[in-house]
């Protein structure tokens, strides 16, 4: 009987393994934003009197384009991923480390 209990204990000890560790770092995005602006302005002035008439008008048009890089983080999405990993219980979370220009930081 003791031998049987010992065998069962060894079987349980070898079958229980720690869940694999997974690192989830913060996710970020980068996108190019472009803007196009077109402004048109027109003005006209006219006057008339008994002795004559005069008038003037002006027209201005401006066009411009600009672009820039917008960067941000997806913290809520990263939190959702981590929460789902923890909920399943199949993995352990390991704190991730960001890499900057090939140097771990």
Q: Among 2-16, 18-32, 46-60, where is mean pLDDT lowest?
A: 2-16
Percentage of the chain modeled with pLDDT above 90: 29
pLDDT digit string, tens, across residues 45-58: 999 888 889 999 99
Q: What is the largest CA-CA distance in the chain?
A: 129
**CA–CA gap between residue 101 and residue 46 (Å, rounded):** 66
Domain segments of the chain as ranges: 17-104
Can you give the pLDDT at residue 89?
Answer: 79
> 3-state SS string over 51-77?
CCEEEEEEEEEEEEEEEEEEEEECHHH
């Amino acid at each position: 009987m003791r031998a049987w209990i010992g065998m069962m204990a060894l079987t349980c000890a070898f079958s229980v393994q720690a869940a694999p560790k997974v690192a989830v770092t913060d996710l970020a995005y980068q996108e190019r934003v472009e803007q196009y602006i077109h402004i048109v302005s027109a003005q006209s002035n006219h006057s008339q009197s008994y002795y004559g008439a005069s008038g003037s008008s002006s027209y201005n048009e401006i066009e411009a384009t600009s672009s820039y890089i917008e960067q941000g983080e997806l913290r809520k999405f990263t939190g959702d991923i981590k929460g789902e990993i923890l909920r399943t219980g199949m993995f352990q979370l390991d704190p991730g480390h960001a890499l900057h220009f090939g140097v771990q930081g």
